[in-house]
Chains A and B, each alone.
Chain A
């Protein structure tokens, strides 16, 4: 690519995001966890809508999803379905989580778990298990960011340098403004992604078919490659069981950044209102995926499926639109990686290091801000530069691990008898199975490794909970006043 415009537009986006992120601090002291961690629980419905939406629409939407459409077909739409279900999850659980945070002072998911089970060790365990999934996700997004810079610069910015540049940019505003920076930048990135996705999608459709209707693209696919329009897809590997279990595992992965986003809302009602409209944002996926389908007949010899939109744009779209695509894709990856980096740092400081070294709240807050640096440059950067595996598979592995913390939430929202040891046994059992079925024997019988993990995890959790002591009654009652606010009922009669 000879024009400098794509790189200029992409870098202009980076500078704008940085400026917005830095200004989000607005003179507030960030040396306390309430501010740096959950933005003083102040976010309104529109900011929260864009925060959650942009956070969940990642580089996957601009690269991985069109790549799946290109190589497998409609199987990619499992993502749209599970994102809609995550909105249902946010609608039901979000207001309760917000109340836990507001009434009990939690700023992280693991703090809530530690409090519910009166076990700092369990809080630390869940923080670490979730950190594995979160780091995997952040690595995935960073790889996407660096690749975009590589392409937009015509190879002048190598991947290693791109990784460092993107992480350095995020580090600056994340350190300065914490969750407030994430809220503001995600709002900007959310709008940018929506505009760019539809502009690029419609332009690509017009260049491929001469019109603006999706029908032209899919009529050709139906005639020439109908296997792309059904499961198991063109690769024959997206079975009904993998579709179903991927959705279930993804839906029950209560990722820590999402929990933090809920806690950042100004009220419980704010979360419900944002969650209600959240699925409407996911129309952003459609035009990008359609470009993947266009690639099936326009770019049949593509070596790397993930690059289909970029390749098509560079061959058929004006340079300004290519630059905007670069900015939009970078926005997607940055908006998704920064909440994960923030939440790993927050949770490791609050739920692992604070109880371990008996740190004060002030010291923990300062530590949380500083910890983003080693997490970014000693963990995420080397992994991203090594570029392991397929983008989508990394995401699924991350979600598979995260879903193993499910028992902790069952005991928080549905089952008062859940015990500390039951949850620990479930998490550890599920974690071992997920590791085995991700590395040694990948997704046996076409079922997601995380789902296999849950099948071991949940029975273990129930059995061990039943034979070990429950959490103190006053603690359980405190939580279930929020989880079941109508009070206790015995055989249809209220007892408290």
Chain B
């Protein structure tokens, strides 16, 4: 059974301004709270950027690597990098949540 602290990426709601009797929810966004959480967030963003333009333009060459087109190899590098990042993420989440 998961706890309420069971979260994929350590997150928090950050308030940046006030509003009369409560808080101004207009400026609230969920953001990571720890260095590990920020690291994971950056890794996620980096993975997504690795698969789209302009990065994809840099590997868009008619070159073979290990017998496969560079773009194909790059796609599979991204896929396995996703596995690696999620494995690291599991360690962080399970350590934080004491599961």
Enumerate chain A interface residues (CB-CB to B < 8 A). Answer: 74, 77, 80-85, 87-88, 91-96, 98-99, 102, 213-216, 218-219, 222, 226-227, 229-231, 240-241, 243-244, 247-248, 251, 267-269, 272-273, 275-277, 279-280, 282-283, 286, 413-417, 466, 470, 473, 476, 480-491, 495
Contacts and interface: CB of A to CB of B under 8 A. Distances in A.
Contacts of B42: none
A280 B76 CA distance: 9
Interface in B59-92: 60-64, 66-72, 75-76, 78-80, 82-83, 85-87, 89-90
Nearest to A276: B86
B28 A416 contact: yes
Chain A, interface SS category:
helix
Chain B, interface SS category:
mixed
A273 B90 contact: yes
Nearest to B8: A92
Nearest to A83: B79
B19 to A, nearest CB: 10
Interface residues of B, number: 59
A268 B51 contact: no
Interface string B21-34: 01101101110010
Interface of B: 1-2, 4-16, 22-23, 25-26, 28-30, 33, 44, 47-48, 51-54, 56-57, 60-64, 66-72, 75-76, 78-80, 82-83, 85-87, 89-90, 93-94, 99
Contacts of B16: 491
B53 A473 contact: no
Contact of B7 (A96, A275, A491): A96
B11 A485 contact: yes
B69 to A, nearest CB: 4
Contacts of A214: 67-68
A331 B97 CA distance: 39
B5 to A, nearest CB: 5
Nearest to A283: B76
Given A74-B72, A226-B62, A485 B5 contact: yes
B2 A95 contact: yes
B56 A231 contact: yes
Contacts of B89: 91, 272, 276
A81 B68 CA distance: 16
